[in-house]
Amino acid sequence: MKLLRYGDKGQERPALLDNNGQLRDLSAVVADIAGETLSPQGIARLQAIDPSTLPKVEGSPRIGACVGQVGKFICIGLNYADHAAETGAAIPAEPVVFSKWTSAIVGPDDTIEIPRNSRKTDWEVELGVVIGKGGRYISESDALEHVAGYCVINDVSEREFQLELGGTWDKGKGCDTFGPLGPWLVTRDEIADPHQLDLWLEVDGHRYQNGNTRTMIFQIPKIISYLSQFMSLQSGDVISTGTPPGVGLGIKPEPVYLRAGQHIRLGISGLGEQNQRTVNAD
Query: For residue range 195-209, what is the model confidence (pLDDT) as tens digits?
Result: 999 999 999 999 999
- Domain that includes residue 241, residue range: 69-280
Mean pLDDT of the chain, nearest integer = 96
pLDDT on residue 82 = 77
Q: Is the pLDDT confidence value at 186 over 80?
A: yes
Q: What is the DSSP string of 89-144?
A: PPPPSS-EEEE--GGGEE-TTSPEEEPTT-S-EE--EEEEEEE-S-BSS--GGGGG
CA distances from 32 to 29, 36, 38, 78 (A): 9, 9, 10, 33
- What is the pLDDT confidence band of residue 88, given thresholds at 50, 70 and 90? confident
- R_g of the chain computed on alpha carbons: 18
pLDDT on residue 274 = 98
| Type of residue at 72 | K
CA distances from 129 to 44, 95, 279 (A): 18, 15, 28
Q: Structural domain tally of the chain?
A: 1
pLDDT one-digit tens code per residue, 211-255: 999 999 999 999 999 999 999 999 999 999 999 999 999 999 999
Instruction: Report yes or no on 253 lying in a domain.
Output: yes
pLDDT on residue 90 = 83
Instruction: Report yes or no on 44 lying in a domain.
Output: no
Instruction: Report yes or no on 12 lying in a domain.
Output: no
Beta bridge partners of 108: none
Instruction: Report yes or no on 51 lying in a domain.
Output: no
Q: Give Cα 86 to chain centroid, integer Å.
A: 22
Instruction: Report yes or no on 23 lying in a domain.
Output: no
CA distances from 261 to 103, 264, 280 (A): 23, 10, 9
Q: Which helix (H) or strand (E) holds 187?
A: strand 185-187
DSSP state of 124: -
Region 56-81: what's the mean pLDDT? 96
CATH number of the domain that residue 164 is part of: 3.90.850.10
Instruction: Report yes or no on 54 lying in a domain.
Output: no
Instruction: Report yes or no on 6 lying in a domain.
Output: no
pLDDT on residue 91 = 86
Closest of 65, 229, 225 to residue 154, by C-alpha:
65
- What is the pLDDT confidence band of residue 89, given thresholds at 50, 70 and 90? confident
Q: Is the pLDDT confidence value at 187 over 80?
A: yes
pLDDT one-digit tens code per residue, 107-157: 999 999 999 999 999 999 999 999 999 999 999 999 999 999 999 999 999
Alpha helices in the chain (DSSP H): 40-47, 81-86, 159-163, 220-227
Region 96-108: what's the mean pLDDT? 97
Q: Is the pLDDT confidence value at 75 over 80?
A: yes
pLDDT one-digit tens code per residue, 8-55: 999 999 999 999 999 999 999 999 999 999 999 999 999 999 999 999
Query: How far apart are alpha carbons 65 and 92 in whole angstroms?
Result: 30
- What is the pLDDT confidence band of residue 167, given thresholds at 50, 70 and 90? confident
Region 267-278: what's the mean pLDDT? 98
Region 187-196: what's the mean pLDDT? 98
Greatest mean pLDDT among 70-84, 89-103, 264-278: 264-278
